[in-house]
Structure 1
Amino acid sequence: MKKITIAIDGFSSTGKSTLAKQLAKHLGYVFVDTGAMYRAVTLYAIQNNYINLEYFDTESLKADLTKIKLEFQFNPELGFAEMYLNNKNVEKEIRTIEVSNFVSKVAEISQVRAKLVEQQKEMGKNKAIVMDGRDIGTVVFPDAELKIFMTASAQTRAQRRFDEMVSKGESISFEEVLKNVQERDYIDTHREDSPLVMAHNAIEIDNSNITREEQFQIVLDLVNNI
């Protein structure tokens, strides 16, 4: 079978990574969660007191970009690669609501995007890759053979995210999660550098009312028809 590049973009909490993992495992492709990369940079900014609710020291973060080493390491027990920040596994830390609250602001910085996009393009130079994020089909892989754009209502996405976080033992309200989803939507679609938009030749999938299995089959059929 011909090796292709699959770009999955869309709004936060639409299940992009879940779908990408399913496809990568089934096809034997490399999976790259670009959101994890932006979350890791955000975690670095939090750890170094560059960002909080009152201010964002963007210049210090820009100056530190050369000190930030990002790496995916495959975990055979989980069946997918986990995010490492400066040689430390941060997969759990980057999924917190605190990181979620700041990640879109960090992703607005052009220098951060440039650094990560360069790495992402290098990862996909040999194809046979499934990459998800916000600008994969428009910026990272504009020539991808298959582009998917995922969406769902804000309420549906917030409920999914809320259920996931509660299952992990986090203490949080649904209203807080919904507010985070709505704020991220606004920032992602209004930033000057690589705003979240659907690529002109992408296929939109609204998964508000379909199961993960149904969604996977829809996209797998698309892959098989290329």
Structure 2
Amino acid sequence: MERKITIAIDGFSSTGKSTVAKELARYLGYIYVDTGAMYRAVSLYALQQKIIGKDHFEVARLIEELPNITLQFQYNEKLGFAEMHLNGVNVEKEIRTLEVSGYVSRVAEISEVRAKLVQQQQEMGKNKGIVMDGRDIGTVVFPDAELKLFMTASPATRAQRRFDELTAKGDAVHYDEVLENVIQRDHIDTNRKDSPLVKAEDAIEIDNSYLTREEQFDAVLELVSEFTKTI
């Protein structure tokens, strides 16, 4: 029989982490957890409650409100993956907007927010057989994961992918605006004091700037097969 393992996928924004993680979990029959969706949901809550905005961020208030924030993944059979629910409401579409993207890195900087979500994430992965993607999965959440991947691509490539994704959904965005958001998020993610985005020493880096979705999946699947051989 094949042993179940923990697969930690880290990397920069818009590198296709969630896409490959979903496909991998579906193929392996593993649980998939999109930690970015969790931070996005907290950011959406902060926006809805006017805790954060262009000219303000009431950090102390957000920390006080954390006990009132309930996050839950609910599997959607039609889509084939779990969607994020914030306080009982499906917010999968709302958390993917450029507006939320503009604030999520700032919200994720807050140590109390990270502590709350990391605890939940570690609980989800206790029994292995899980694919989790985010910024600190291989370094903080699952430092002992059997397989750690680090996804990267050029900012221009990632911005174009994100732009195409948003416009396909009907969002009115400009490429330059998306590129600026990608660069800002990279800076915040790699320079924050609490759990900055870094490549774990034992992570395998995959630069998918010039890989198709299929080529990337095949490359990852080949790596996974090395760690799930019959024992």
Settle same-fold status: TM greater than 0.5: yes
Q: Which residue of 2 aligns with 1:85?
A: 86
Name the counterpart of 1:161: 162
Residue number in structure 2 paired with 1:14: 15
* Residue identity in the other structure for 2:13: S
Q: TM-score, normalised by structure 1?
A: 1.00
Question: Is 1:69–2:81 an aligned residue pair?
Answer: no
- Partners of 2:23 and 2:126 lie apart in 1 by 21
Structure-2 separation of matches of 1:35 and 1:197:
16
Q: What residue in structure 2 maps to residue 151 of structure 1? A: 152
Offset of residue 212 of structure 1:
1.0
Task: Give the equivalent residue in structure 2 for 1:206.
Answer: 207
Q: What is the correspondence of 1:1-226 to structure 2 with a 5 Å cutoff?
A: 1-226=2-227
Aligned Cα root-mean-square deviation (Å): 0.3
Task: Tell me which amino acid in the other structure corresponds to 2:212.
Answer: T
In 1, the alpha carbon distance for the partners of 2:77 and 2:195 equals 34
Deviations 1:160-200 (A, max 9, x none): 00000000000010000000000000000000000000000
Amino acid at match of 2:67: T
Aligned partners of 2:15, 2:220: CA distance in 1, in Å? Answer: 15
Q: 2 CA distance for matches of 1:64 and 1:54?
A: 20
1: CA distance between counterparts of 2:44 and 2:177? 20
CA distances 1:82-121 after superposition (whole Å, capped 9, x unpaired): 0000000000000001100000000000000000000000
CA-CA distance at 1:9 after TM superposition: 0.2
- The two structures have a TM-score, normalised by structure 2, of 0.97
2:64 maps to amino acid: A
CA displacement 1:66-88 (0-9 Å, x = unmatched): 00000000000000000000000
Unaligned stretches of 5+ in structure 1? Answer: none
Aligned length: 226
